[in-house]
Chain A
């Protein structure tokens, strides 16, 4: 039986060129809207993890390694960072400080001593640590000197073995993706790191010193003014840069806002162009099919039924175009998310399924709105024009 649905599909297939143009316009608009939205959602997802993943109120790094430390934390650029003198003992005795944990950042070498160059080794003390252990299972508390916990994007599975600085480490656990530099990092115990830095072959790389440290993660007492504590610490300790995690996150959010606003402006242009193009296409198509509308009215098909048939036709094309645009972006962007992360140099993590679903619904909603605006003149003509004027029987 001929239904409005079937009529709409037959119209789509019969008018292939117009249907294809419609699909392309909607597909391109959807790709832009989804691509921008997906990028911003992933940025938000990455930045949202930062405070929890760092897990500390303050971070202390050597002043000369300011940029290197940020790049290692957020972009995963591996480096070796060393304090001239480990200030852990000094800081832990200061007022307002509740916890201090030291981490040692070592970059793997492009020599035969290391299976892979350019990875970040992060040594931590399981006894004082309050950051890494929150994100792993129980295996980290008893991490042996020949074991390691790896980030999500190191390309290693549990049980595999790798050599770093002449020592063999076995993967005890793999962390979930963080969107930060931790994804390309390998966590080992301080005991294992001390064996490396004090060994005869490699001590020269680290200045042949003991008690090395790269970064101190500091928690303050509850209710402390973190900003003023940070200023006081910075003024009393030479050669050290202090960052409040909240300030770091605010800075990242400001940078992300720049991308978001730019994206919204671009989305605005895309929507306006899509409305204009679809409005023109739909209106021109209506004028070409005016006589058919008149014929339908002449045999007693109501105006509402004709609007329903046209709307179904354009709705199916919109949904197909939206799916195509989203699909094409997903096929290209999702596999490239590591490259995008390294390019933006900010925490960047694939958003969860709920966020993705909301984004897809939002794109569909915007496209439906574009469709309704674009069809407005056509539907008004169908609803208001006398049937005789549509059949073109009148001169």
Chain B
């Protein structure tokens, strides 16, 4: 899977993102740094299909995600190919931790069993954390537990 961005730009009044290009190949891990307000969040939002750029293109496996895909297809792309984590906690307070984890799948009728989750999570969650938190609502968990759920 490859991700390519060419001359993407976004303007918000006096701030925004200056034209930037980048290319990511499979298994590649990068870190974007910069001072506050330089456009790091804007860049990530554009790359993940959450914010349309004013100009430029973003291609995932060769397909322009803003020109070749409609809104529903972009949502499906985010559901299957892109993981997005917000700066603040993004757990939904109406759902338990387990429901928060499985809602992207189960709302589309794809039931998820706990053994499947253990295969996916790949060591991110500890069994003790899981036993303590999975049936609780976010408000009943600690901040750290909530962050583990988000991740």
Tell yes or no: A211 within 8 A of B by CB.
Answer: no
Instruction: Check if A220 is an interface residue, CB within 8 A of chain B.
Output: no
For B103, list chain A residues within 8 Å (CB). Answer: 2, 7, 296, 299, 301
Main secondary structure of the interface of B (DSSP, over half): loop
Contact digits for B88-101, partner A, Cβ 8 Å, 1 yes 0 no: 10111111000100
Cα separation A386 to B80 with both chains bound (whole Å): 19
Let me know if A265 is at the binding interface, CB within 8 A. no
B77 within 8 A of A: yes
Interface size, B (range): 35 or more
Cβ-closest chain A residue relative to B42:
A394
B72-A292 in contact (CB<8A): no
Find the residue from B15, B50, B77 having the highest chain A CB count within 10 A: B50
0/1 interface trace, chain B 68-109, chain A, CB 8 Å (1 if under)? 000110011111101010111011111100010011101111
Roughly how many angstroms separate A296 CA and B109 CA in the complex, as a whole number? 16
Which 6 A-B pairs rank lowest in CB-CB distance, beginning with the nearest?
A300-B79, A300-B78, A388-B51, A388-B45, A295-B90, A2-B106
Extra 15 A-B pairs, beta carbons < 8 Å, given A295-B90, A301-B107, A303-B75: A2-B99, A2-B107, A7-B103, A10-B95, A295-B86, A295-B92, A300-B76, A302-B72, A304-B72, A305-B107, A387-B49, A388-B45, A388-B50, A388-B51, A395-B37
**Residue of chain A at shortest CB distance from B46:** A388
Q: Tell me the minimal C-beta distance from A257 to chain B in angstroms.
A: 49
Task: Tell whether A11 pairs with B94 under 8 Å between CB atoms, given A299-B79, A302-B72, A387-B51.
Answer: yes
Q: Are A386 and B50 in contact, CB atoms less than 8 angstroms apart?
A: yes
A7 near B95 (CB under 8 angstroms)?
yes
CB-contacts of A97-148 with B (<8 A): none
Sample 6 A-B pairs with CB under 8 A, ordered by A number: A10-B95, A15-B94, A298-B90, A300-B76, A301-B103, A388-B42
Indicate whether A96 reaches chain B with its CB closer than 8 angstroms.
no
CB distance from A43 to the nearest CB of B (A): 46
1/0 contact string of A273-313 vs chain B (CB within 8 Å) = 00000000000000000011011111111111100000000
Chain A residues, CB < 8 A from B72: 302-304
Closest-by-CB residue of A relative to B104 is: A299
B111: CB under 8 A from chain A? yes
Of A297, A300, A301, A393, the residue contacting B87 (CB under 8 A) is A393
- Enumerate A1-37 residues with CB–CB distance to B below 8 Å: 1-4, 7, 10-11, 14-15
**Bound CA–CA A165/B103 (angstroms):** 80
Query: Measured between alpha carbons, how far is A7 from B41 in the docked complex, in Å?
Result: 29
Q: How many residues of A contact B (CB 8 A)?
A: 32
Q: How far is the CA of A291 from the CA of B89 in the complex (A)?
A: 10
Bitwise, B3-35 to A at CB < 8 A (1) or not (0) is: 000000000100100000000000000000000
> A386 touches which one: B51, B76, B90 (CB < 8 A)?
B51
Please, which residues of chain B bring their CB within 8 A of the CB of A387? 45, 49-51
CB distance from A285 to the nearest CB of B (A): 12
Q: Which of A357-395 contact B (CB under 8 A)?
A: 386-389, 391-395
Report how far A298 CA is from B76 CA in the complex, Å.
Answer: 10
Contacts of B75 in A (CB 8 A): 297, 300-303
Closest to A313 in B: B94
Minimum distance in angstroms from B108 CB to a CB of chain A: 8
Assembled-state Cα–Cα distance A96/B75 (Å): 83
Cβ A303 vs Cβ B104 within 8 A = no
B-to-A contact residues, CB < 8 Å:
12, 15, 37, 41-42, 45, 48-52, 71-72, 75-80, 82, 84, 86-88, 90-95, 99, 102-104, 106-109, 111, 137
- The docked-state distance in angstroms from the alpha carbon of A296 to that of B90 is 9
Asked if B86 and A393 sit within 8 Å, CB to CB, the answer is yes
Closest CB in chain A relative to B123 CB, distance in Å: 21
- A385 CB to nearest B CB, Å: 11
- Contact call A299/B84, Cβ cutoff below 8 A: yes
- A299 — nearest CB in chain B belongs to which residue? B104
Shortest beta-carbon distance from B65 to chain A in Å:
13
Q: Select from chain B the residue with minimum beta-carbon distance to A298.
A: B84
How many angstroms from the CA of A342 to the CA of B44 in the assembled complex?
Answer: 73
A302 to B108, CA, bound (A): 10
Considering the chains assembled together, what is the distance between the CA atoms of A181 and B92 in angstroms?
63
Q: How far is the CA of A291 from the CA of B94 in the complex (A)?
A: 13
Residue contact B107 to A4, C-beta cutoff 8 Å: yes
Chain A residues lying within 8 Å of B80, measured Cβ to Cβ, are 300
Q: Which residues of B contact A3 (CB under 8 A)?
A: 106-107
Please name the residue on chain B nearest to A15 by beta carbon: B94
Which of B41, B107, B108 gathers most chain A CB within 10 Å? Answer: B107
Choose one: B45, B51, B52, B104; the contact of A300 (CB below 8 Å): B104
* Cα A338 to Cα B108 with chains together (Å): 55
Pairwise interchain contact B78-A386, C-beta atoms closer than 8 A: no
Question: Would you give the shortest CB distance from B79 to chain A, in whole angstroms?
Answer: 3
CB neighbours (8 Å) of B137 from chain A are 14
**Least Cβ–Cβ distance between A298 and chain B, in angstroms:** 4
